Amino acid sequence: MLTGKRVVLAVTGGVAAYKSAYLARRLLEAGAEVEVAMSDAARNFIGAQTFAAITGKTPVIDLFGQDLVSPHTELARWADVVVVAPATASTLGKVAHGISDDLISALLLATTKPVLFAPAMHTEMWEHPATRENIEKLRSFGYHFVGPEEGGLAGGDVGIGRVAEPESIVEELKRLMGAPEEPLEILVTAGGTREPLDPVRYLGNRSTGKMGHAIADEAARRGHSVVLVTTSGLQTHPAVEVVRVETAMEMKEAVDGVSPDVAVMTAAVADFRPADPSEEKLPREDGLDSVELVPNPDILASVVAREDRPYVVGFAAETGSVDRAIEKALKKGVDLMVYNDVTKPGSGFGTDTNEVTLIDASGEVEAWPQMPKTEVAARLLDRIVADVASRR
């Protein structure tokens, strides 16, 4: 799928730049035409001559002074796609803020073609709030990402920040350059339900809806048609159809009104609700010895039981081992269960990151490293779209 595609490989300054020589070779093997552009910093890590020997073309290394009059715009127009590997924190930051003071950042601002970033940096740099914000911004601009992965880093450190392997980058490029995703009708539920005791007080839970909103936004950006049934007031992508609800019963009614191809059920739905909520605020002086609770409907089970059953993704926020989630996945009959241990730091309610484990319908388990919820959303959608396509 890369045959005849014109790929600009932009190499920026990290130790992982040495892997881009191998990436250049893999791109050529996949049938792509490759032009390499290098930042000044990149040339501290690998020589331009290495790329010249692999691609048969001299890399572009400067905005000024080489043969090309306007190298950034010429490369930008020539490319069918630009891949930045490795992508440094600095280059990501420049593009997120519209700074174009060197060859690579000017090229990235000048191109209208798809851009795939393969970030690589130490964990501290990747987790810095500035980098987090830049990645969010770049995603919202429509840039694509592959990796980073967890593993060994420069200097013997271990953590998230390792550049994606050349094979994964080539696969991601093939996906980007292939046919666009077939648009799906996707239902997402998000947030924690609030079950009233009286007009002021409720029984609730700690779910904020961030994970579900990230999935809805990512799906809308990819052109899917999205209905988001949510208890959260978070902003959403303008193309998302939002149905705001409070209680489990309201959520059930809203979900019943949608017949999607895919249902991603991230909402934390209360299992029980007060049997008889008071219409007036309960006065403190009257006391309250106990609250009678009645069970709420199991919304996930009702979607799985439909005759026109969609592809169903359940979420299991647990506080213990993955075994309980495997049991739950098999019992509920979902196509995919996304499990996270909400007691782990950086995982679960209210955080911007999540560490999840996927469990498929046969109980097969796939653990993902901790990553931003936006990235969990993107990877999860890749998986859903691939599963749905393979069934059609």
In the bound state with ligand FMN, the residue whose beta carbon lies nearer, of 61 and 89, is 89
Choice among 134, 205, 296, 340 that is catalytic: 205
CB of 377 to ligand FMN, least distance (A): 24
Residue 80 structure tokens: 């069918």
Nearer to ligand FMN by Cβ, of 102 and 355: the residue is: 102
Site for ligand FMN in 64-93 (CB under 6 A): 88-91
Segment near ligand FMN (CB under 6 A), from 73-81, 120-128, 173-181, 294-302?
Answer: 120-128
For residue 268, the minimal CB distance to ligand FMN (Å) is 36
From 6-14, 269-277, 294-302, 354-362, span contacting ligand FMN (CB under 6 A) = 6-14
Nearer to ligand FMN (CB atom), residue 7 or residue 61: 61
39 vs 230, which CB is nearer to ligand FMN? 39
Beta bridge partners of 32: none
- String marking each residue 133-172 x if it binds ligand FMN according to CB under 6 A: ---------------------x------------------
Q: How far is the CB of 53 from ligand FMN (least distance, A)?
A: 21
- Known catalytic membership, residue 205: yes
- Would you give the binding string for ligand FMN spanning residues 12-51, x where CB under 6 A is met? xxxxx----------------------x-xx---------
Q: How far is the CB of 147 from ligand FMN (least distance, A)?
A: 12
Quick one: which of 185, 226, 229, 225 has its CA closest to 209? 229
Please report how close the Cβ of residue 307 comes to ligand FMN at its closest, in angstroms: 52
Residue whose CB is less far from ligand FMN, 135 or 220:
135
Q: Which is nearer to ligand FMN, 15 or 365 (CB)?
A: 15
Q: What is the DSSP letter of 379?
A: H
Applying the rule CB under 6 A, the residues between 333 and 392 that interact with ligand FMN are: none
Q: Which of 46, 63, 115, 120 binds ligand FMN (CB under 6 A)?
A: 120
Contact set with ligand FMN (CB under 6 A): 12-16, 39, 41-42, 88-91, 102, 104, 120-121, 125, 154
Q: Which residues are catalytic?
A: 205
